[in-house]
Amino acid sequence: MKTKITESPEEAASFIRHGGTVAFPTETVYGLGADVFNESAVAKIFEAKRRPADNPLIVHIAQVDQLEKVSSEVTASARAFIDAYFPGPLTVVVRKRPEIPLIATAGLETIGVRMPRHLTAQAFLLACDTPVVAPSANLSGRPSPTTWSAVREDLDGRIECILKGEATTIGLESTVVDCTGNEPVLLRSGAISLEDLRRVVPETKAYVSDISLARRSPGLRHQHYKPSANVQIITTGDSISVAPQAAYIGLHDRREAFALVRVCSTVEDYAHQLFEFFRECDRMKINTVYCEDVPLIGMGHALMDRLQRAAA
């Protein structure tokens, strides 16, 4: 298949309306979209990404009034988060409508819903005229793409179209909060922190790794965010004996010699650069990536979560 590269949201949307798959930018990472109501189009996403069939997709809407097309039961907590943080880097898990095919939700009766704040994403979703399911637009197990060329690196020839835009601003995937129970549960951290969620619904719980919750979010079982190199988390000031062909990313410069060094200005900048840095390490055949840890404040939670998954 020849992958069309375009900067026109309308042209990209026409591929969705004809049952195709389209990668598009959002403020978090690039997504790989298909019409949620078209089962064969949704199946193409799993095939293109080589994504396990038991990992559910999240659905993207252009406007809040599209919510009723995907969910029949929006709980009070879901409503509160939507009012506070849509459009933005937040995915709210609610009960799905029966019309949503089970392939999209990996058999779950619930669905994650997100409304991106990104202007190109909004123009694209509006032109699609249907809610669009989209996981991150990477091959399964690779770092999420934050640039259109990272999408092309993984999916060229495997999808119908790439909507070319700028590098994403946040660089880590959205916060996911399950709102189907009595108390909301944070399933994945992101730019909207647990503290941000608790400001809206104080009872919000942090995800704790137990079997029943793992069943609620199958994606949490799968490995994520992994470059080919071995990833090690190090603490500021700790001395290390550097492995050959090693790279370093963090907030502080270091004395050791590395083949590749990235010093970031803030935790947000670190989050913004991390996944593209991992890809750069792969291109340079780096063997070991040393990642400096950050304080668990605000975006620091999401960044440490991704570093720990990459190091696991």
Looking at 4, 216, 226, 309, which residue binds ligand TXA (CB under 6 A)? 216
The stretch among 10-18, 129-137, 158-166, 287-295 that binds Mg ion (CB under 5 A) is: 129-137
Please tell me whether residue 136 binds Mg ion under the rule CB under 5 A: yes
Q: How far is CA 17 from CA 8, 62, 128, 156, 172, in A?
A: 15, 15, 6, 20, 28
Q: Which does 219 bind (CB under 5 to 8 A by kind): Mg ion, ligand TXA, none?
A: ligand TXA
Looking at 78, 92, 134, 162, which residue binds ligand TXA (CB under 6 A)? 134
The stretch among 34-42, 128-136, 228-236, 266-274 that binds Mg ion (CB under 5 A) is: 128-136
Q: Which does 184 bind (CB under 5 to 8 A by kind): Mg ion, ligand TXA, none?
A: none
Pinpoint the alpha helices (H) of the chain: 9-17, 39-49, 67-70, 76-85, 119-128, 148-155, 194-200, 211-216, 267-283, 299-311
Please tell me whether residue 174 binds ligand TXA under the rule CB under 6 A: yes
The stretch among 96-104, 131-139, 246-254, 263-271 that binds Mg ion (CB under 5 A) is: 131-139
Looking at 21, 38, 110, 189, which residue binds ligand TXA (CB under 6 A)? 110
Report the alpha-carbon distance of residue 281 to residue 89 in Å, rounded: 27
Please tell me whether residue 90 binds ligand TXA under the rule CB under 6 A: no
Question: Which residue of this chain has its Cβ atom nearest to Mg ion in the complex?
Answer: 136
Tell me if 245 sits within 8 A of 285, measured CB to CB.
Answer: yes
Please tell me whether residue 146 binds Mg ion under the rule CB under 5 A: no
Tell me if 222 sits within 8 A of 308, measured CB to CB.
Answer: no
Report the alpha-carbon distance of residue 177 to residue 224 in Å, rounded: 18
Report the alpha-carbon distance of residue 190 to residue 170 in Å, rounded: 9
Q: Which does 57 bind (CB under 5 to 8 A by kind): Mg ion, ligand TXA, none?
A: ligand TXA
User: Hey, how many other C-beta atoms are within 10 angstroms of the C-beta on 83?
Assistant: 10
Tell me if 61 sits within 8 A of 70, measured CB to CB.
Answer: yes
Q: How far is CA 271 from CA 169, 172, 192, 287, in A?
A: 9, 6, 13, 21
Looking at 218, 234, 259, 263, which residue binds ligand TXA (CB under 6 A)? 218
DSSP-derived 3-state class of residue 40: helix
| Structural tokens at position 190 | 């992101």
Q: Which does 20 bind (CB under 5 to 8 A by kind): Mg ion, ligand TXA, none?
A: none
Residue 31: CB minimum distance to ligand TXA, A: 3
Please tell me whether residue 184 binds ligand TXA under the rule CB under 6 A: no
**What DSSP string describes 274-298?**
HHHHHHHHHHTT-SEEEEE---SST
Looking at 91, 120, 193, 288, which residue binds ligand TXA (CB under 6 A)? 91
User: Hey, how many other C-beta atoms are within 10 angstroms of the C-beta on 266?
Assistant: 11
Question: Which residue of this chain has its Cβ atom nearest to ligand TXA in the complex?
Answer: 219
**Which residues would be at the binding site for Mg ion (CB under 5 A)?**
136
Interface with ligand TXA by CB under 6 A: which residues? 26, 28-29, 31, 55-58, 91, 93, 105, 108, 110-112, 114, 134-136, 173-174, 176, 178, 187-188, 216-219
